[in-house]
Chain A
Amino acid sequence: MSEATMLSAADLAGPGPDEHGRFGIFGGRFVPEALIPALDEVEKVYREARNDPEFIRELDHLLRTYAGRPTPITEARRFAEHAGGARILLKREDLNHTGAHKINNVLGQALLTKRLGKTRVIAETGAGQHGVATATAAALLGLECVIYMGAVDCERQALNVARMKLLGAEVVPVHTGSKTLKDAINEAFRDWVTNVDNTHYVFGTVAGPHPFPEIVRDFARIIGVEARRQVLELTGRLPDAVAACVGGGSNAIGIFHAFLDDTDVQLHGYEAAGHGLESGEHALTLTAGSVGVLHGARTYVLQDDEGQTIESHSISAGLDYPGVGPEHAWLKDSGRAVYHGVTDEAAMEAFALLARTEGIIPAIESSHALAGALELGRELGPDATILVNLSGRGDKDMGTAMKYFNL
């Protein structure tokens, strides 16, 4: 007898995009022709998989017995005192195996890799969380694994580099361009087009060419599907607002999606404002960017007047990206979600505050959402309930924290 699954096919299949992978004017495919057959194949195999009860069962099993789902909701009472007394509920994606929400997408794509009949996976990584998750799934399923990581990120997330190596992955530091996430993505695409015969590119966020924004989103949807149910159980009603940090946008879309039709629930995304908008050193793609094409999709991009990508800056490697997923571009333009910036300083304050008030050390990425929630709470008042996606834990950030706080 087969056990009942926590996950259902309906949980996976979110609405949109259209058949060309477009969300309104955003998304699509802007890639070398050589990759089109591979993208078509991934799309086809994914559509079959998500309607196959056996695939759902396998993924469900891994999510429960390996990743540790469902992740709990923790009410942050002492932290909330600093948020004007609003109720703050943390979706604990930090408690996933490997320490962040990235594992949800990776387990799904690793199973897809098997179905594609491929033996090798590659991935880009910024903070190293997606790289660690991919290396982990590769170890579990016996796949060869190569991770591309900007040289700057290798340094600031050295702990994760060691983890990936221990897990048996090859980590390739990328020395071109800004030596961060965007350059790691370029290099991963170069590998993919060369080795596409035996290789699946486990894209790590809801950006890139169609069907990645859709697939990664669908595998991240479980965050919001669970959280919506949990908040209803706990409080008897829906939250007033949902807050998440936005790099490429996977954790944010993952928690937003189940609430899209709940039009009374505000959706707030927090991008990295780095040293502030005026400094020019930030990753405010949605707030300060313009519409263009980057990494295979039409979306908001930090670019100059001639379409050259402008290097982003953030203290958090996972948000240090001059592009963003096309569905977020669409949610912004449609007004369904609003996006704000949080500076390095505000994020680090929230990072330390959560540690001291709740005994939880968050990832610096997630700390941007926490800082956003502090502000949002003061705005919405003490009767409000705010659901925050605590997308990852801060172990990987201890080097940065030691320097920042002189620990």
Chain B
Amino acid sequence: MTTLQTVFEKARAEKRAALVGYLPAGFPSAEGAIAAATTMVEGGCDVIEIGLPYSDPLMDGPTIQDAVHRALVNGTRIADVLRTVEAVAATGAATLVMTYWNPVDRYGLERFARDLAAAGGAGTITPDLTPEEAGPWLEASAAAGIDTVFLVAPSSTDARIEKVVRCCTGFVYAASLMGVTGARETLSAAAEGLVKRTREHTGLPVCVGLGVSNGAQAAEVAAYADGVIVGSAFIRRLLDAPDEAAGLAAVRELAEELAAGVRA
């Protein structure tokens, strides 16, 4: 298994930011997600976040909502998510699961951490698990040897940032803007300040997500962050493609563009 630590050390040695791609399991199909994530790795993604499809994705915009809805209609289960992680981790990319809290809560914390580690997963990103509620999950994750990534936002006070980074291992996820997931034409100016403020509280890498959709934006973010996170833009390519082959080609093209961006 490739760890987040290895990824960021390598990127740092190459004097570039890491590229993190997101895709929900089960979209466009169970096998299609594995193919797409593998293509993202081939195109230059260092880290893959596999989304665990959830019925009530209240911090996601229309693009991810659409993909997740299709994944659920396809009957995607947690076993499929773990199978996807296993296949993607085998490519050599550090592979995380991004999930709303309730599915993990229901599955069982120890069991989820153990099964994810066994599948070769490097850790989780849990956007609606607050530090106040995170204690048992931090314990279960530490016991299984997986990383725990949490989010800070432009609205976070310094005291909140301090609380959140204390829960993080691997990296800190800085949400670039106040809003839901989805590609944006221009990036929010808030992101750079947030990364700076976050660095005052932690030596962990800080990655920026929400809104990044092209190589130029990736380069812009890479200038001040340790990693660039892209989700909706990949999904958009798959949604808009006339068939799977065209979708994969478009995903590869975007990954290559972004990979060039983080090296600019």
Contact = CB atoms under 8 A, between A and B. Distances in A.
Contacts of B107: 306-307
B55 interface: yes
Given A292-B105, A293-B101, A307-B105, A33 B56 contact: no
A308 B160 contact: no
Interface stretch (B22-30, B57-65, B114-122, B212-220): B57-65
Nearest to B72: A308
A156 to B, nearest CB: 22
Q: Count chain B CB atoms within 10 A of each CB in A37, A182, A293 and give the residue with the most.
A: A293
B187 interface: no
B153 A30 contact: no
Interface in B43-78: 54-61, 65, 69, 72, 77-78
A33 B55 contact: no
Contacts of A295: 56, 58
B175 A33 contact: yes
A294 B104 CA distance: 13
B59 A190 contact: yes
Q: Count chain B CB atoms within 10 A of each CB in A182, A292, A305, A306 and give the residue with the most.
A: A306
B229 to A, nearest CB: 15
B184 to A, nearest CB: 11
Interface in A284-336: 292-296, 301, 303, 305-309
A151 to B, nearest CB: 15
Interface stretch (B5-13, B128-136, B139-147): B128-136
Nearest to A310: B55
Contact of B180 (A182, A193, A301, A308): A193
B152 A294 contact: no
Contact of A20 (B54, B72, B78, B132): B132
A116 interface: no
A400 interface: no
Contacts of A28: 130, 132-133
B61 A176 contact: no
A37 B156 contact: yes
Contacts of B130: 28-31, 33, 36
B102 A307 contact: yes
A243 B133 CA distance: 34
Interface string B148-181: 0011111111001000100000000001001110
Bin chain A's interface residue count.
35 or more
A359 interface: no
A306 B99 CA distance: 12
A177 interface: yes
A301 B154 CA distance: 31
Nearest to A196: B178
A194 B56 contact: no
A257 B61 CA distance: 38
Given A37-B155, A307-B107, A190 B58 contact: yes
Contacts of B57: 186
Nearest to B104: A307
B76 to A, nearest CB: 10
B150 A186 contact: no
Contacts of A36: 130, 155-156, 160
A139 interface: no
B78 A306 contact: yes
Contacts of B32: none
Contacts of A35: 155
A44 to B, nearest CB: 12
A32 B60 CA distance: 11
Contacts of B101: 30, 293
Interface in A10-39: 20, 28-38
Contact of A307 (B106, B151, B157): B106
B103 interface: yes
A259 interface: no
B102 A293 contact: yes
Contact of A189 (B58, B61, B65): B58
Contacts of B152: 33
B105 A293 contact: yes
A197 interface: yes
Contacts of A20: 132
19 contacts: A29-B130, A30-B128, A32-B128, A32-B175, A33-B160, A34-B151, A36-B156, A37-B156, A37-B157, A38-B155, A182-B56, A185-B58, A194-B178, A293-B101, A293-B102, A293-B128, A305-B106, A306-B77, A307-B105
Given A194-B178, A306-B77, A307-B104, 7 more contacts: A30-B128, A30-B133, A33-B150, A33-B160, A190-B59, A194-B180, A308-B103
